[in-house]
Structure formats: C-alpha cells, structure tokens
Structure 1
C-alpha cells in the first residue's frame, strides 16, 4: 500500500489549557500510529484563535476570577478539575491558579516559527509558550518574556525577537488566519481538522485521536484518494463532522 501524507490543522489558543493537553495527545497518537503503520506520515500546523479578545497586552487577568465571572462558579470549578485530572494523564505538573493574557504577540511568534521551520520549529515554540503560561503562569504578552522564549526555542535571538514583536510584521497575516477560522464557523478550541475536510472538536483524549488515525491507516480508499469525503467520514468515527 502506498504511503500518504496526512495534513492536520489544529485550531488553538494559548490561553486554553486543553489545547496544551491536546498538543501532547495528538503527537502521542501520531507517534504510536506511525510506529505501527508505514502507510501514513503526518504534517501538523497549528493556527491561531483568540478566546478572550478583550484582554489587553500587559494586563493579565486572574484565571479563576475571570472564568467564574464568565461561566459561574460551578462550571468554572468543574473545568478546572477536569484540567487537573487530564494534565496528570499527559505528565504535566501544574500549579493551581494561573492567568489569562493577550495572546496576539505569542501567536505571531508561533506563526513565524511555522514560516521559518515548519512543524518541528513551530512545535518547539508552542511547547515553550504553553509551558510558560499554563505551568509557570508567565505573562506571554510581555515582549521580554517572548524574546527569551524565541531565543530558547532557537527561533531567533533576543534582540531580533524584540524588534520583530515591536513591529507590525506578520500582524495582518495572523489576523487573517484568525478571521478565516471565525468565518469557518469555529467558535471554540481545540479543533483538529484532517485534510481540510473533517473536524474533531473539543479536548478529545489521545485514544480518540489514535482510533481515528488507525482507521485512516487502514482505509485503502483514503490512502489511494479514491473515496468521497462523506464516505471517509462515515468510515472513521461518529465524532467526525463533515
């Protein structure tokens, strides 16, 4: 059977802790399925979404307070409990509390990484950005913090990163991606889009992603590009939305 590249697009926001978990679960599932099958290889691109556009750069909000005011105490507490439970599953050592920040500059850094180094560099930058915000509770709207992350990720030096982040470079490109996501009808994250045709919404588990990837690997019609989007979606999972 021929080998096929599967293009995955993940819609994310750095403020979303389930996007961080999703990043780890998706790549864990990819690692396992590619060890078992030689019919697939994957290219993964993360594209930005902004959950809290009202938050200004340099004005981080207390996560618990913000979520309680937005969703109510009971729902906010349930969400936090779920995150703490899921974080253990992927080996994250998280502290209680945390902040929500403006993610515009951080999204630009991740976009720049994709342009410069594709999947590998983007994932390095994103992992460091997620860890800084979700685990270390750092304000990743801060240029100094972002410049340090850019250097640590081997994206660019601190001075170059500072100049870049203080400029308008890539601002419009990132805004266009965010607007494209909104026009596509997406209003929450994470969302995993397969080949631009099928979407898996919400913070699914590694097992869900693994099940879908295995079905792709065993679908001869998909590998050979001889099936319709509708028939492939039906063959994959009820969780897939055409």
Structure 2
C-alpha cells in the first residue's frame, strides 16, 4: 500500500498529523507492506527567503488570537511527543527544504525521506532552525544519511526545483488545498490531522480493497493556503 502525504514543513498540523498517522501505522497489522512518501505543499508559496520570527509573522496574520492559536497547537503537540517552541521558530520560504526532500526520496528512498522529514519538522518547530539556510539543510541531510558533497552541489543550484513545482501543481490539480492530506493508493484522500484511530480504520479499509467508495471521515484540523485555522 502506498500512502502519499501532502504537507508543508511550516504547517504545525502536518507535524501532529504525521505523529498520529505513525501511531496508527504502528498498530496496523499490515504495516510492513506500507510505503509512505511525502509530497510537497506550500502554504505560502510567495513567502520571503528572508527569515522572520514566527510570533511576529503569525500576529501579523491573526492579531492577538495568534497567541491562543499557538498555545492550542502546543498542547496537542505535547500529547504526541512534539515540543513546539514558537518563540524560537522562524518562518521562511520552504521550497528549498521541499527540494531536499525530493532528492532524498528519488536518490535514497522513502525511508530516508521520512527520516529527513522528521528532522526538518523538529528543526523548524522545536530547535528554531532556519530551514531555508543551505548550511542548516545540509547538516540535517547528512544526519539523515545523504552525501554531503551531493547535497551541497544540489542546493547550490536549482536542481529539483522544476520537479517540485510540478508536484505542487499536480497536487492542486487533484484538489488538494489543505494540509496535511493523506492519499491512499492514489484513490482515497483523508484531510487533516485525524486521530490515530481514524487513520487505523482507513488503513484497514484500504487494505480490504473497499474501492467503490472513498473512506468517509470527518474533516480534521488542517492548514489551508496561507492560514492555520483552529
């Protein structure tokens, strides 16, 4: 079974959704036969490459309620082992990070890509790392098992950018407008950071080849273009 997860590194619900899906996968009897691949999505495609403090960025969009928004996400994150540090987090364009994930998947495989994805999310949301910085990205990639020289050469130019943009366009053509979105076997889509029990039911339904109708699930909390509503 192939599961394609459309998400953005800058999306806090994507991190929570990732953890909840992993909890479900650990409980799924057929987990050894599941391949997980991460696909790109940009909440703010025109975001600057100049980093900005997260608190400042969010307050500009949502005003005083931004503090409560972060607090709720942080509380839910703790329940799945995520230590959000929004005071340290930096907002920046995520295209370069998505290019790196594309390199990991195409040249090293989905397992290495998943490892890198986790490192990128932690770096962004917990460690206050600028995930648009080439040196920082290179360090994270090497930790995940990628070759340093290959990564440095890759990030020095625009290699992979066209492919990532094509995937971004393909996702939108499929109707994906909010993340995280989990696409099972290219046929069934589940949107939002669902609870682990919901993900487990979907995995079981797909395994049972219920191909006539998509698994019906309620919309979960998710980030849409340029916004993370709570």
Gaps of 5+ in 1: 1-5
Find 1:54's aligned residue among 46, 57, 73.
46
Alpha-carbon separation, structure 2, partners of 1:112 and 1:64: 31
Instruction: Tell me which residue corresponds to 2:200.
Output: 210
Partner of 2:139: 148
1:13 to 3, 8, 14: 8
1:8–1:43 Cα contact (<8 Å) kept: yes
Q: Distance in 2 between matches of 1:201 and 1:64?
A: 26
1:189 aligns with 2:179: yes
| RMSD over equivalenced CA pairs, Å | 1.9
CA contact (8 A) 2:83 2:126 kept: yes
Distance 1:172 1:90, change over 3 A: same
The one of 21, 25, 29 aligned to 2:20:
25
When you count helix as a share of all residues, which structure comes out higher? 1
**Counterpart for residue 3 of structure 1:** none
1:112 pairs, out of 99, 103, 117, with 103
Aligned pair 1:102/2:93, yes or no? yes
SS where residue 21 of structure 1 aligns? helix
Flag structure 2 segments of 5+ consecutive residues without an equivalent.
220-230
Contact residue 18 and residue 190 of structure 1 kept, 8 A: yes
1:169-217 deviation per Cα after TM superposition (whole angstroms, max 9, x unaligned):
1110011001111222222211111111221112222222122223344
CA distance in 2, matches of 1:87, 1:186: 24
SS in structure 1 of the partner of residue 109 of structure 2: helix
TM-score relative to the length of structure 2: 0.87
Hey, what does 1:239 align to over in structure 2? 218
Structure label with greater radius of gyration:
1
Instruction: Provide the secondary structure at the position in 2 that maps to 1:229.
Output: coil
Aligned residues between the structures: 218
> Displacement of 1:128 after TM fit?
0.9
Whether contact under 8 Å (1:189, 1:202) holds in the other structure is yes
